[in-house]
């Protein structure tokens, strides 16, 4: 089976300079993928450097969604934007996934408008992987939903578990609930009620996970509302940047420390690769009738390539069908429980 990915080539801080180069690299790395380069043809073609790649095609789209454009405006006024056209291709079955480094709010809104939600899912959620002491953890929601009900958190759990089950071939990934204490009595009402629902969900629910547990890797999937998830993600990014700055400052303090830096360089290099956020680039927008992956706006070629890989992986492992199946099972279980309690 060939996987076709529609790429919004105009999105992100660097546009085609990054997206087209990454697409070229993507089709060269994988025999089973095709890419549709969506955007302003005249701006895309130069970056192909005349390369003849039968598995790369350009699909012209005349408009571009700006990084600061309101989602509502992007839906209404830009029907021929690269983002919209890429999502249309997924809806029409010409591509199996869409990848964009553009405006997150617009991508969420247009995805929802064009692709619609999977049955039983109220809202899309943003899910990404973070490194942990023992591997990595998938966290959602990372910012799509600022207010969530307990039921939304359960839907996130089902979607996250389905994703991890698919791409990591795990039967029953463990699911944790981000909270401010491990005991059941901790947290706000939404989180307490979500814990009760998760216990009865049939998922492999391991209970509350505190902030520090996230990076200990105590669960494969951790769910939270989008406000908390976004803060946790950005606080982590900010902290890593600060520590990197401090490390650079200390190593460049004087000739002696610069010598030490030389000696430590290979070690620091390995260390950096291990926590390299570029390897983790590509957040899945889950809950839609189609695979949509959001790349960091500032992504470079390597980083955008990770997002493309992530999208192809989700197609190959049939993530959508797994989420639907899980939601079905959940609905049947609820019906059974209700009929039993009559």
Binding site for a copy of itself (CB under 8 A): 131-133, 143, 146-147, 178, 180, 187-189, 191, 210-216, 224, 226-228, 230-243, 245-247, 250-251, 253, 257, 259-261, 263-264, 266-268, 270-271, 274-275
Residues 6+ apart with CB under 8 A from 55: 27, 33, 34, 35
Q: Rounded to 5 degrees, what are φ and ψ at 145? A: -130, 110
119 vs 238, beta carbon nearer a copy of itself: 238
β-pairing verdict for 97-100 and 135-140: unpaired
Residue whose CB is less far from a copy of itself, 120 or 217? 217
Tell me if 6 sits within 8 A of 95, measured CB to CB.
yes
Rounded to 5°, angle at Cα 36 from 305 and 310:
30
Q: Least distance (Å) from a copy of itself to the CB of residue 233?
A: 7
d(CA 327, CA 333): 10
Q: Compare residues 46 and 181 and give the one whose CB is closer to a copy of itself.
A: 181
Where are any strands of DSSP class E within the chain? 3-8, 33-39, 56-60, 97-100, 125-132, 135-140, 174-178, 204-209, 221-223, 283-286, 291-294
Output 202 or 238, the one with its CB closest to a copy of itself: 238
CB nearer a copy of itself, residue 227 or residue 302: 227
Shortest distance (Å) from residue 187 CB to a copy of itself? 6
Q: What share of the chain is helix, strand, coil (3-state, %, to 5)?
A: 50, 20, 30
User: Min. distance of Cβ 47 from a copy of itself in angstroms?
Assistant: 30
Q: Which is nearer to a copy of itself, 244 or 325 (CB)?
A: 244
Minimum Å distance from CB 85 to a copy of itself?
27
Closer CB to a copy of itself, 70 or 318, in the complex: 70
Distances, alpha carbon 104 to alpha carbons 56, 78, 111, 148, 297, in Å: 25, 16, 10, 19, 9
CB 282 within 8 A of CB 136: no
User: Shortest approach of a copy of itself to residue 291 CB, angstroms?
Assistant: 24
Q: Of 104 and 155, which CB lies nearer to a copy of itself in the complex structure? A: 104
Q: How many helices (H) and strands (E) in the chain?
A: 12, 11
Task: In angstroms, give the least distance from the CB of 272 to a copy of itself.
Answer: 10
d(CA 196, CA 204): 13
Contact 326, 158 (CB under 8 A): yes
* Residue 306 beta carbon to a copy of itself: minimum distance, rounded to whole angstroms: 19
Contact 12, 101 (CB under 8 A): yes
Q: How far is the CB of 275 from a copy of itself (least distance, A)?
A: 7
């Amino acid at each position: 089976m060939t996987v076709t990915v529609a790429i919004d080539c105009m999105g992100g801080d660097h546009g085609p300079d990054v997206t087209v180069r990454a697409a070229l690299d993507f089709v060269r790395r994988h025999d089973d993928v095709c890419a549709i380069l969506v955007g302003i043809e005249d701006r895309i073609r130069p970056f192909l450097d005349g390369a003849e790649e039968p598995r790369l095609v350009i699909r012209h789209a005349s408009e571009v969604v700006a990084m600061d454009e309101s989602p509502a405006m992007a839906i209404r006024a830009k029907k021929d934007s690269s983002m919209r056209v890429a999502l249309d291709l997924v809806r029409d079955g010409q591509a199996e996934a869409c990848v964009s480094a553009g405006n997150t709010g617009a991508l969420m809104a247009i995805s929802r408008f064009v692709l619609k939600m999977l049955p039983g899912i109220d809202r899309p959620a943003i899910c990404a992987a973070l490194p942990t002491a023992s591997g990595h953890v998938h966290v959602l929601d990372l910012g799509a939903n600022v207010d969530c009900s307990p039921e939304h958190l359960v839907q996130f759990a089902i979607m996250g578990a389905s994703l991890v089950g698919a791409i990591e071939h795990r039967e029953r990934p463990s699911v944790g609930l981000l909270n401010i204490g491990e005991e059941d009595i901790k947290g706000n009402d939404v989180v307490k009620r979500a814990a009760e629902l998760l216990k009865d969900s049939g998922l492999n629910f391991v209970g509350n996970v505190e902030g520090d547990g996230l990076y200990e890797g105590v669960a494969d999937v951790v769910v939270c509302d989008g406000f908390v998830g976004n803060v946790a993600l950005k606080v982590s990014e900010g902290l890593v940047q600060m520590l990197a700055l401090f490390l650079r400052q200390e190593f460049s303090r004087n000739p002696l420390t610069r010598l030490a830096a030389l000696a430590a360089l290979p070690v620091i290099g390995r260390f950096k690769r291990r926590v390299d956020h570029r390897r983790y680039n590509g957040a899945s927008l889950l809950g839609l009738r189609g695979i949509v992956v959001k790349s960091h706006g500032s992504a470079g070629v390597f980083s955008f390539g990770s997002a493309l890989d992530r999208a192809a992986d989700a197609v190959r492992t049939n993530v959508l069908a797994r989420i639907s199946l899980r939601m079905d099972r959940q609905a049947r279980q609820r019906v059974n429980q209700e009929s039993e309690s009559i």
